[in-house]
Structures are given as structure tokens and as C-alpha cells.
């Protein structure tokens, strides 16, 4: 049923009224903020002038500190006012997007609940003009159609009935359209949004949050929420909206954006998602990668390989002499067995590699090795190994220093009779004792010090030790070659990416875990690309934090170091309340691309999609004697003429990307079209739309209007281990997908998929 003329007019009048109130509030609060900042400037100037110009000695330091604190509080209040104005300006652009008329059980009248990006309240009357999308009552907009509904409020569960559910598209004070919806949100508004071109930054999805997404966003009963979602199911968007919800719900419990961290694939992806939280009225959180976080805890003298460098090696070095053993090393170090070995090795270090000796000075026993063991295994056992050794060293010094002083005094008395030392017998005595005890001090320092890096090297050098700590685990047959490959890097102060988690784990056990108690919530995106040991490190670093972990096992772009079972990850954290959600619907690609991509997986994955019109992917064969650049530019120009704004040419590796970029740039200059193509590499920090060229593994998490796969031949993609990487590439496109090849097509596209794409032979 359509909306009658009278109701339409009422909605228009109401919107104008709300819009005017918002504008009035912006003016009022902006003026108030200006007055506040003027007062702060005046107060600070007056305060410091008084101090600088005072001729009297300042006596009351406490009073000054209180005044400074007062000024800081004024500054804080000003920033809050400024933030309120920012929220109002966002609200001004689109005051609300939804409405539900809800009749609470036992109440006589319907409540009209208008829902927007943030709340808007008349503080004098208490009337709520607009409800924040995160408020408890707003959840019914996402959860229910017309009919019975309920939601959880601070006072308990509220039940009732929805008599009307309405959706809007509003810009400022104009309603572009509105309709009553007894169907899912994904029909009209979602179809329109999905048909648009991609922007430079990820956008918020508050107007189209689906029921299953809403469950994840608002899950506050579980301390660990894990999400397995198909490509394009909105996992990262869900995580960011979940962060916004957490910040909203716990805003009165001293939780801020500084208490949350998100681990992303790379810095460019961090830039890509950087607008979502500000759009939702929240400050951006700490965004990092596992590699960057690791750098904080690893000495600068060690050269670290990052995730992208490792992948580049794996995708380009098939024929190198050490490839077989390096890949075996990577694979083994990503297993549960290796994590067990490291845990056993940490205990082995404590029991067998930390040794003590009797300490004698000048023939006198200072402290016995049994006393030292007693301190290490009993007195100080609750502290990490390194701390225990430091305490023991201090204890030895305490016992040793009186004996050294006695020795100095004895020697001083003797030297008083020596004509050569008569002027400074004490100094000479002290220097002599210091020199003679240098060997003993070196022995004490060596005995009470521990080098984590050397201990990690020893794990692969000492076959006896490795055999002892690996008992009961699956040890690879080529362990000797793996060890030699590992030592070749470690002995040159090179920590390969697969060795970083192992080193960090040992460092945490031996030296203690850094205090990161300020972090209350951790988000881990692309969860499938982390190893069990990396999850163990997350658990150690953030023992009291809640977690949101999101990934897609089908997009494990790393062939050897990844997670295969989310339940095992849940077991690592062992949180009392945890949940695993599964999302099967893709909101990114047209159905034709989804079906084609599913065929690449060669599995019975139940991946659904929004049924919107699109074209089949095109598999294009070019003559072996021709360069593909000319044909690719032809397709790019056609796509641009069809108003597609975001186009990615995807190569397999960065090495290939550099070469192809030169060829494509040359072809564009020849045509004098004014077009340029931007090369994205692992050092890129900013994501922009337009025409880009990007290595396969960096495209993960991103999306484009159209994707052109530069070379889909069997020569480039021929290994079964690359299947999920190939699948990930194909799922980056919203609207169009082109795969170029010469000679023979990659076997990763099965023969059974022939009906799912159009073949073009040039």
C-alpha cells in the first residue's frame, strides 16, 4: 500500500521542522563553543601572565596545579561541545532514514520512532525527535517487520507491536523518496546502494543493516564474537559498526576509542576504512597490523620480513634452490604442533638451559648454586624468567658487595705503606679490586642473563633439545633441512615472517608480557590469515579484552600459514562466553560473478547473493604473439564510458605489477587520453578510486566497480595452493570481471564453469 497524499505532506512538514531545529541548534552550540574557547584563551593568558610577572616567590604549588587542571577541564568541555556540533552537522545532511510505529504492550498510543545516525533530543521537554540507530528501541527496525516485536532495554525486555515501518532517502530537508516496508530492508534501498560506484573510502551501512548483521553488531553477551562470512558479506563493516555500538553502549563506563584496537591486513586497508567511524559520530580507533605491532617488541638490530614480502617470495620463487625447504618451514611453523613445541621449549629453557654455579670470592663462598636454584624455582617463581634472573643478580651483588669493601679496606691498608700509592691508596685499592673481580662479574652477568634470540637459534641448532620438546607431536621428515633454512636467516639477524610469532612468544614467556591493560576490545580482521601461534600471542597480549574476530576460510590467500578451523581458535582463547556466527549472503558482486567465483572453489559452499542484474565474467583469449596492454586499455576506456569509476587491474605479484604498470602507462601516453594508472604496492598507505594496478594479495578486503585480471593463464596460476587466492581476486568486483590470458587458461577455472562465463577470442 502506498503512502497517501496527506501522510506525505505530514512527513514533509515534520522533516522541515526537525531540519530547522537542527540548524538552530548548530548555530546556538557553535556560538557557545566560540565563547568557551575565548574564555579559555583569556583564562590561560591571565593565569600565565600572573605567574610570569609575579615578583613574589610562588608558594602554593598545589593551587597552581589545581588551576591548570581547571583549565584542562575547560578545554575538555570545549572539545565535547565541538564534537556535538560535528554530530549535528552530520545529522543535518540526513536527519533520519527510518521510522517504526511501536505500540508497547499496556500502552494506549503508538510511539513514532524516527531513526538516524545519532540522536536528537529537546533537552527542555525531553522529547526525542530522532533515536540513535544504536539505541535499544532502534533494534526493532532491523529485526522485525510489521507485527509483534520486542527489544531489550536497560529496564528489561519490552514487548509490543509494530504497526508501521517506513524507510526514507533524505538529503538535508528534502525527501527523495519514502516507502512503507513489510519486506526486508535489502529490496529497494539496498539494491540502489549496490548499483552505485565504489568510493575512495568504505561507507557506513546503518540504513541497510541486515537482521543477521544486527545480531553480531549488538551482541554484548559474549566476550568473544567470531564471524565466518562469505566474500562481500560485510564483515569489516559489521566490525566497525560493532565498535560504534560498543562505544555508544559503554560510553558511561570510561570506554573510548583509545581502548579499542583493530588488526588489519595492511595500512592501505586502514585508510580505506578510516571514514566509517567518523561517519557514525565516533573517533577512529587504533589501527595496526600484526607486523607493525610486532616491531614495538623486537630490537631494531633484527631485520624483519613482513607478510607481503613473504607472500611475494612464495609467489615468485618457485624455482629457487631453497623454495622447497622454506615453504616446508613456513608450513610447519603455522601448525598446532609447532605451537606445542614452543610451549614445551619454554618449559625446557627454564628447567635445563638456565644453570647456576657456586659463587666464590677470594676463596670464600658467597652463595651456593642450591641457594640460587631455590630463589629461581621457589622464591621468585611467579615472575618471568628474565625478571627472576635480574632479582638473583641483585641478590648476589648484595652478598658480594660487603666482601669487596672488606677487600678494598685490606688492600688500602697495605698500600698506605707503598711510597708509589701514598697519595691515593683508597683509589688504587678500589681499581685493583674492580679489575681483579671483573672475571667474576662477567660470570655472574652471563649466568643471570638470557638472550631470547640466541635461545630461538638454539632450538634449531640442538637436535637433542628439539627432540625432547617435540615428543608426541608430528615432526616433519625434512626437519634437518627446515632447521638449516631457518638458521641461514637467523644467523644473519633476519627474522622471516614465519619466525616472528615464535620469537615473540618466547620473548613473552621469558621477559614477560607487555602491560596492555588499557585495551578493552580487540578486532582481528581477515582472521583466516593468522596462525595458531599468532592467536596465542593475541591471547597473551590482551588477556582481559573482549574480541571480535572476522574472516573467510575461503579467502585464505596464504597457502601455508593460515587458520583452518575457527573452533580451534575459540579453544585457544577459552573465553567463558563466545559465539561463532556464519554469514552466507554476499552484498558485493552481481550474481553472475558470485556463481563464477563459487565454481572456482569447487566446493558446495552455500553462498547467497542479492539478485540484481549483471553480466557474466568475460574470459578473453589474446593471441600469443600480442601484448595484452592494448586490449586491456580498450576495455578500460569502454568501462569509463559506462561511468564505472573504480577499475582495478590485478597482477599476481608486485614484481609483475611494476613491469605491467610501465607497459600500461606507456600505452595510455600513446593514446593521449589524459588517463593515468596508479600503482599500488605494499608501501602504499592511501587508497584512492580511479584506475589502479595492484598485486593480488593486496586487493584482499577491497572492492572495485570492475576488475581486470591481467594474466589468467595456466603459466601464471597453475598451483592448487593458489586456488583461494584466485577466488579472492575474482570476488573483488561489484559489477564487471574480465580475465585475460594467452595460450592456455588456468586450470583453477574448472571445465564445469564454462556456462558461467562468456568466452571471447581476440
pLDDT per residue over 566-609, tens digit each? 888 999 999 989 999 999 999 999 999 999 999 999 888 789 88
Q: Whole-model pTM?
A: 0.88
In a domain, 602, yes or no: yes
Convert the pLDDT of each residue in 220-246 to its tens digit. Answer: 999 999 999 999 999 999 999 999 999
In a domain, 188, yes or no: no
- Same domain for 123 and 63, yes or no, is yes
pLDDT band at 454 (very low <50, low <70, confident <90, very high): very high
CB of 151 closer than 8 Å to CB of 139: yes
- Same domain for 131 and 11, yes or no, is yes
In a domain, 135, yes or no: yes
pLDDT band at 174 (very low <50, low <70, confident <90, very high): very high
For residue 201, pLDDT over 90 is answered with: no
- Greater confidence (568 vs 305) lies with 305
pLDDT band at 451 (very low <50, low <70, confident <90, very high): very high
Instruction: Provide the domain count of the chain.
Output: 5
Strands 156-171, 147-153: pairing is: antiparallel
- Same domain for 539 and 633, yes or no, is no
Q: Residue 437 burial (CB < 10 Å; 0-12/13-18/19+)?
A: middle
Question: According to the model, what pLDDT value does residue 171 have?
Answer: 95
- Same domain for 239 and 385, yes or no, is no
- Same domain for 242 and 111, yes or no, is no
CB of 644 closer than 8 Å to CB of 705: yes
Question: According to the model, what pLDDT value does residue 431 have?
Answer: 86
Residue 258: other Cβ atoms inside 10 A: 12
Residue in 294, 54, 214 with CA at minimum distance from that of residue 581: 214
In a domain, 207, yes or no: no
Question: According to the model, what pLDDT value does residue 52 have?
Answer: 53
In a domain, 563, yes or no: yes
For residue 358, pLDDT over 60 is answered with: yes
Of 466, 491, 509, the residue that ends a domain is 509
pLDDT band at 202 (very low <50, low <70, confident <90, very high): confident
Cell, residue 673: 587520453
- Greater confidence (307 vs 70) lies with 307
- Same domain for 153 and 9, yes or no, is yes
Question: According to the model, what pLDDT value does residue 159 have?
Answer: 96
Question: According to the model, what pLDDT value does residue 674 have?
Answer: 87
Question: According to the model, what pLDDT value does residue 699 have?
Answer: 94
681: CB partners within 8 A, 6+ apart: 654, 657, 658, 695, 698
CATH number of the domain where residue 580 is located:
3.40.50.300
Question: According to the model, what pLDDT value does residue 184 have?
Answer: 54
- Show the CA angle centred on residue 21, arms to residues 104 and 114, nearest 5°: 25
For residue 99, pLDDT over 70 is answered with: yes
Of 413, 442, 471, the residue that ends a domain is 442
In a domain, 200, yes or no: no
- Same domain for 405 and 526, yes or no, is no
What's the mean pLDDT in 137-159?
94
- Same domain for 19 and 150, yes or no, is yes
Convert the pLDDT of each residue in 601-622 to its tens digit. Answer: 988 878 988 888 899 999 999 9
> Which DSSP letter does residue 411 get?
H
CA dist., res. 337 & res. 343, Å (int)? 10
Least trusted range by pLDDT, from 344-358, 414-428, 449-463, 658-672:
414-428
Strands 120-121, 156-171: pairing is: unpaired
In a domain, 194, yes or no: no
For residue 51, pLDDT over 80 is answered with: no
What's the mean pLDDT in 434-460?
94
For residue 275, pLDDT over 80 is answered with: yes
- Same domain for 570 and 707, yes or no, is no
Strand-pairing partners, residue 704, are: 733
pLDDT band at 66 (very low <50, low <70, confident <90, very high): low
What are the start-end ranges of the E strands in 431-589?
Answer: 494-495, 521-524, 546-551, 578-583, 585-586
Convert the pLDDT of each residue in 4-13 to its tens digit. Answer: 999 999 999 9
Most confident of 81-90, 192-201, 536-545: 536-545
Cell, residue 738: 574480465
Question: According to the model, what pLDDT value does residue 427 have?
Answer: 81
- Same domain for 485 and 369, yes or no, is no
Question: According to the model, what pLDDT value does residue 80 have?
Answer: 73
pLDDT band at 194 (very low <50, low <70, confident <90, very high): low
- Same domain for 367 and 337, yes or no, is no
- Same domain for 280 and 266, yes or no, is yes
For residue 33, pLDDT over 70 is answered with: no
Which single residue is written with the C-alpha cell 574448472? 750
Q: What is the mean pLDDT of the chain?
A: 89
What's the mean pLDDT in 534-557?
94
For residue 480, pLDDT over 70 is answered with: yes
In a domain, 197, yes or no: no
Range of the domain at 224: 215-297+514-586
Of 509, 536, 551, the residue that ends a domain is 509
Percent of the chain at pLDDT > 90 equals: 71
What's the mean pLDDT in 322-331?
95
For residue 186, pLDDT over 90 is answered with: no
Amino acid at each position: 500500500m502506498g503512502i497517501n497524499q496527506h501522510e506525505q505532506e505530514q512527513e514533509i512538514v515534520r522533516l522541515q521542522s526537525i531540519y530547522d531545529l537542527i540548524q538552530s541548534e548548530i548555530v546556538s552550540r557553535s556560538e557557545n563553543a566560540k565563547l568557551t574557547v575565548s574564555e579559555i584563551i583569556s583564562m590561560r593568558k591571565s593565569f600565565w601572565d600572573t605567574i610570569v610577572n609575579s615578583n613574589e616567590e610562588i608558594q602554593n604549588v598545589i593551587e597552581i596545579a589545581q588551576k591548570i587542571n581547571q583549565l584542562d577541564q575547560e578545554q575538555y568541555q570545549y572539545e565535547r561541545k565541538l564534537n556535538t556540533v560535528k554530530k549535528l552537522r552530520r545529522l543535518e545532511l540526513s536527519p533520519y532514514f527510518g521510522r517504526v510505529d511501536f505500540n508497547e504492550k499496556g500502552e494506549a498510543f503508538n510511539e513514532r520512532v524516527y531513526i538516524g545516525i545519532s540522536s536528537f533530543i529537546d533537552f527542555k521537554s525531553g522529547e526525542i525527535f530522532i533515536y540513535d540507530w544504536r539505541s535499544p528501541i532502534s533494534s526493532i527496525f532491523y529485526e522485525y517487520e510489521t507485527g509483534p516485536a520486542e527489544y531489550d532495554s536497560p529496564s528489561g525486555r519490552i514487548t509490543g507491536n509494530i504497526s508501521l515501518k517506513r524507510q526514507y532517502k533524505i538529503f538535508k530537508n528534502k525527501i527523495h523518496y519514502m516507502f512503507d516496508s513489510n519486506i526486508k530492508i535489502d529490496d529497494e534501498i539496498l539494491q540502489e546502494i549496490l548499483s552505485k560506484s565504489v568510493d575512495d573510502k568504505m561507507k557506513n551501512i546503518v540504513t541497510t543493516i541486515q537482521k543477521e548483521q544486527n545480531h553480531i553488531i549488538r551482541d554484548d553477551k559474549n566476550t568473544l564474537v567470531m564471524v565466518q562470512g562469505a566474500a562481500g558479506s560485510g564483515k569489516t563493516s559489521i566490525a566497525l559498526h560493532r565498535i560504534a555500538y560498543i562505544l555508544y553502549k559503554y560510553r558511561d563506563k570510561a570506554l573510548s576509542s583509545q581502548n579499542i584496537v583493530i588488526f588489519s591486513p595492511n595500512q592501505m586497508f586502514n585508510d580505506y576504512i578510516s571514514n566509517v567511524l567518523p561517519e557514525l559520530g565516533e573517533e577512529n580507533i587504533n589501527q595496526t597490523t600484526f607486523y607493525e605491532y610486532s616491531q614495538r617488541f623486537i630490537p631494531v638490530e633484527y631485520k624483519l620480513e613482513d607478510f607481503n614480502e613473504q607472500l611475494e617470495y612464495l609467489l615468485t620463487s618457485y624455482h629457487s634452490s631453497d623454495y622447497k625447504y622454506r615453504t616446508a618451514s613456513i608450513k610447519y611453523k603455522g601448525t598446532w604442533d609447532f605451537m606445542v613445541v614452543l610451549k614445551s621449549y619454554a618449559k625446557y629453557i627454564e628447567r635445563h638451559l638456565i644453570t647456576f654455579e657456586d659463587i666464590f670470592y677470594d676463596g670464600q663462598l658467597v652463595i651456593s648454586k642450591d641457594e640460587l636454584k631455590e630463589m629461581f624455582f621457589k622464591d621468585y617463581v611467579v615472575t618471568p624468567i628474565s625478571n627472576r634472573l635480574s632479582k638473583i643478580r641483585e641478590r648476589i651483588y648484595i652478598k658480594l658487595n660487603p666482601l669487596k669493601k672488606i677487600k678494598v679496606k685490606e688492600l688500602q691498608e697495605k698500600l698506605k705503606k707503598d711510597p708509589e700509592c701514598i697519595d691515593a691508596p683508597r683509589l688504587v685499592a678500589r681499581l685493583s679490586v674492580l679489575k681483579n673481580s671483573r672475571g667474576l662479574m662477567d660470570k655472574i652477568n652471563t649466568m643471570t642473563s638470557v638472550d631470547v634470540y640466541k635461545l630461538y637459534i638454539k632450538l634449531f641448532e640442538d637436535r637433542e633439545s628439539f627432540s625432547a620438546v617435540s615428543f608426541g607431536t608430528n615432526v616433519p621428515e625434512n626437519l634437518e633441512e627446515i632447521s638449516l633454512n631457518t638458521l641461514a636467516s637467523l644467523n644473519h639477524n633476519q627474522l622471516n615472517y614465519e619466525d616472528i610469532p615464535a620469537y615473540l612468544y618466547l620473548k613473552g614467556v621469558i621477559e614477560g608480557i607487555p602491560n596492555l591493560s588499557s585495551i578493552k576490545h580487540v578486532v582481528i580482521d581477515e582472521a583466516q590469515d593468522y596462525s595458531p601461534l599468532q592467536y596465542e600471542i593475541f591471547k597473551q597480549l590482551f588477556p582481559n579484552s573482549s574480541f571480535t574476530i572476522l574472516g573467510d576460510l575461503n579467502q585464505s590467500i596464504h597457502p601455508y600459514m593460515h587458520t583452518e578451523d575457527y573452533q580451534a581458535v575459540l579453544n585457544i582463547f577459552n573465553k567463558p562466553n563466545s559465539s561463532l556466527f556464519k554469514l552466507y549472503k554476499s552484498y558485493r558482486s552481481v550474481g553472475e560473478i558470485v556463481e563464477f567465483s563459487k565454481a572456482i572453489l569447487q566446493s558446495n559452499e552455500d553462498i547467497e547473493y542479492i539478485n540484481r542484474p549483471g553480466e557474466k565474467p568475460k574470459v578473453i583469449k589474446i593471441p600469443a604473439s600480442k601484448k595484452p596492454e592494448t586490449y586491456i586499455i580498450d576495455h578500460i576506456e569502454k568501462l569509463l564510458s559506462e561511468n564505472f569509476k573504480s577499475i582495478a587491474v590485478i597482477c599476481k605479484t608486485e614484481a609483475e605489477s611494476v613491469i605491467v604498470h610501465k607497459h600500461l602507462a606507456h600505452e595510455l601516453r600513446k593514446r593521449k587520453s589524459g588517463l593515468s594508472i596508479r600503482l599500488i604496492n605494499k608501501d602504499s598507505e592511501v587508497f584512492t578510486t580511479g584506475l589502479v594496478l595492484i598485486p593480488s594479495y593486496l586487493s584482499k578486503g577491497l572492492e572495485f566497480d570492475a576488475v581486470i585480471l591481467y594474466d589468467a593463464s595456466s603459466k601464471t596460476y597453475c598451483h592448487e595452493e593458489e586456488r583461494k587466492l584466485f577466488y579472492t581476486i575474482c570476488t573483488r568486483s561489484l559489477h564487471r570481471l574480465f580475465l585475460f590470458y594467452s595460450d592456455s587458461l588456468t586450470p583453477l577455472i574448472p571445465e564445469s564453469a564454462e556456462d558461467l562465463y562468456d568466452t571471447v577470442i581476440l
